[in-house]
Amino acid sequence: MAKVVVIGGGVIGLSTAWELHKRGEDVIVLDSRTAGMAASAVNAGWVSPAMAGPVPAPGLVKTSMKWMLDPESPLYIRPRLNKSFISWLYRFWRACNATSYAAGLEATAVLGGGTMEIMDQWVADGVKFEMHDFGLLYAYRDQAAMETDLKAFQGVTPYGYAQPTAMYGDDLRQFEPVLSDELVGGYHVKEERTVQPVSLVKGLIASLQNAGVEIRNGAPVVDLEVSQGRVVAVRTPAERIEADHVLIAAGAWTGEIGKMAGAKLPIEAGKGYGLDFRPAPVKPKQSIYLHDDRIAISPFNDGLRLSGTMELSGISDKVTARRIGAIQKGGKRFLNGFPDDAKPTQVWAGMRPMAPDGLPVLGKVSGLSNLTVASGHAMLGVTLAAVTSVQMAELITSGKTPDVLKPFSPARFKGIV
Ligand SMILES: Cc1cc2nc3c(=O)[nH]c(=O)nc-3n(C[C@H](O)[C@H](O)[C@H](O)COP(=O)(O)OP(=O)(O)OC[C@H]3O[C@@H](n4cnc5c(N)ncnc54)[C@H](O)[C@@H]3O)c2cc1C
C-alpha cells in the first residue's frame, strides 16, 4: 500500500483520492484552505461531456477583441507585463486554429465518454450528492449562431454523443416556458446532467472521511522535497509528510506547486462569477445555456444559480459588481417572470484552471518518477472529474499512462518560459 499525497481538495483531488482509496491506496488530501470550497463549489454544476470543444477556438480572437471593448462582456483579459502570462497568452492565441481545436475536441470527447457510468458508480458506492438528469438546453438569440453550433455538434457524434434536434420560436417556448421571446431557437442535449456542486464535493468528502481517508484543511503545501528524481516529501508550514507518490490537483494554483519541483505547468486562473437565488425566482425545467450572452442557468433543489464570464486577471477571489450586474441583467431579460427586484442570496467568484491550449493537464511530470498532475480542466472540471479520477488512479497505481490520457500530457509544455 503506497502513500499518495494529493495536493488540492477540489473536485479533481477529491474524486481521484476516492478512486485511489477504492484501489487500496493509502491517501491523504491536503488543502491550503477548505477542501471543496474553491472553483469546485462555485460553478454551474453541469456534467456536459458533449461540450468537448476547447476554449481557444477559431474565430475567438476576433470575438474577444469586440468583447474587450465592452465592460459587461463575457470575456476580460487584464493586461499584465508578466513574462509567463505573455507566453501563456501567445500560446492561447496560437491554439485558436481549426486543427488544434479539432484535435482537442476529439481527445476531450473520447476522455469524457464514460462520465455518466462512473458518476452512477459513485452513487452506487454510497457517495451522496444532488444530481439531475433533466438535460441541458442551449438557447439562442442569433439563429445563425445556433445553426453553426448545431453543425459543429456533429464533431462529437462519432464519439457516441447523440445529435440534438433544433426547436424554434413557440416550439422552444413550449419546451421551456421560462424563455423570453428574444430567444429564437435552441436544442436540448438530454443526456447531460446537472449536479449541485457543493453537494458533490461534500458527498466525496463525507465518503472519503467515512472510509478513513484524511483530508487536512488549512494545510498549504509550501515545498516539495526532491531527491534522486523523486519527490520524497511534501512540506506544509506545520510538518513534513513523506510520500510514495504526489499528485498535484491544485486547480488555478497548480503552476505555483509545480515550480516547487522545478516543473513548468502553465495554468492561469479563468475567473467566473455566479449569483445564487434561494428560493428560485423562476423555475426552469432544466439547465439552460444562454449562448449569445454566455450565461449558465442551473436549477437546484433549493434555488437557482446564474453564472458566467471569463476573466483572465490572475489569482484573486475579488467579485466585480459590474460583472455580477451583467449576469443578473441577462437573467431578468431572458427569463420570463424573473422579478425586477430579485436579490441574490449570495454572489461569488471561482477560478477555472486554464492551460493555454484549453486542454486538461493530466499525467506524469517529466523528470520526476513519482509526481503527477491533474489540472487545467477549464470549463469542464466537474464534468471530467469522474473520468479524470479513474484514469489518474490507473496511472498512479500501474505506473503506465492510459492511452486516453496521452493527448493531455504535461510534457507538451516542455521548453516554455
Ligand atoms: C463560473 C463557473 C462555472 C463553471 N461551470 C462548470 C460546469 O457547469 N461544469 C463543469 O464541468 N465545470 C464548470 N466550471 C469549472 C470547474 O468549476 C473547474 O474546472 C473545477 O472546479 C476545477 O476543480 P479543481 O479541483 O481542479 O480546482 P479547485 O476546485 O479550485 O480546487 C483546488 C484546490 O487546491 C487548493 N490549493 C491551492 N493551493 C494549494 C496549496 N499550496 N496547498 C494545498 N492546497 C492548495 C485550493 O484551496 C483548492 O481547494 C465552472 C467554473 C466557474 C468559475
The single residue listed with the C-alpha cell 482509496 is 21
416 has pLDDT over 80: no
Q: Are 350 and 397 in contact (CB under 8 A)?
A: no
Backbone angles phi, psi at 18, to 5 degrees: -65, -45
> Per this entry, what is the length of the chain?
417
CB 42 within 8 A of CB 78: no
Does ligand 1 come within 6 angstroms of the Cβ of 380?
yes
Please compute, for residue 373, the number of CA atoms within 13 A of its CA located in the half-sphere on the CB side.
Answer: 33
Q: How many CB atoms lie within 10 A of CB 338?
A: 20
| Number of domains observed in the structure of the chain | 1
Average pLDDT over residues 80-85: 88
| Structure confidence at residue 66 as a pLDDT band (50, 70, 90) | confident
409 touches ligand 1 (CB under 6 Å)? no
How far is Cα 222 from Cα 238, in angstroms, rounded to an integer? 10
Nearest CA to ligand 1 atom 13: 379
Cα of 350 vs centre of ligand 1, distance in Å, is: 7
- Closest C-alpha to ligand 1, atom 35: 8
Q: How far is CA 32 from CA 169, 213, 223, 246, in A?
A: 49, 17, 13, 16
CA 269, distance to chain mean position in Å, is: 11
* Segment (H or E) for 206: helix 197-210
Q: What is the spatial distance between Cα 391 and Cα 404, in angstroms, rounded to a whole number?
A: 8
In this predicted structure, the answer to whether residue 131 has a pLDDT above a threshold of 70 is yes
Average pLDDT over residues 238-263: 97
- What is the pLDDT, as a whole number, of residue 78? 81
Task: Give exposure, 7-18, as e/b (b: 16+ Cβ within 10 Å).
Answer: bbbbbbbbbbbb
pTM score, whole prediction? 0.97
Q: Is the peptide bond before 279 cis (omega within 30 degrees of 0)?
A: yes
Chain centroid to CA 183: how far? 27
Closest ligand 1 atom, residue 350 Cα:
53
pLDDT in tens, 255-309: 999 999 999 999 999 999 999 999 999 999 999 999 999 999 999 999 999 999 9
Given this model, what pLDDT does residue 69 score? 64
Can you give the pLDDT at residue 71? 65
Distance from CA of residue 327 to its chain's centroid?
Answer: 19
Range of the domain at 253: 3-413
Cα(253) to centroid(ligand 1), Å: 9
**pLDDT, tens only, 219-234:** 999 999 999 999 999 9
Query: Domain containing 357 — which CATH number?
Result: 3.50.50.60
pLDDT in tens, 9-20: 999 999 999 999
Q: Tell me if 267 CB under 6 Å of ligand 1.
A: no
Provide mean pLDDT across the span 124-133.
98
Q: How far is the CA of 251 from the centre of ligand 1 (A)?
A: 5
The answer on pLDDT for 417 being more than 60 is: no
* 178 alpha carbon – ligand 1 mean position (Å): 30
Mean pLDDT value across residues 79-85: 86
The candidate with the shortest Cα–Cα distance to 355, out of 60, 71, 131, 55, is: 55
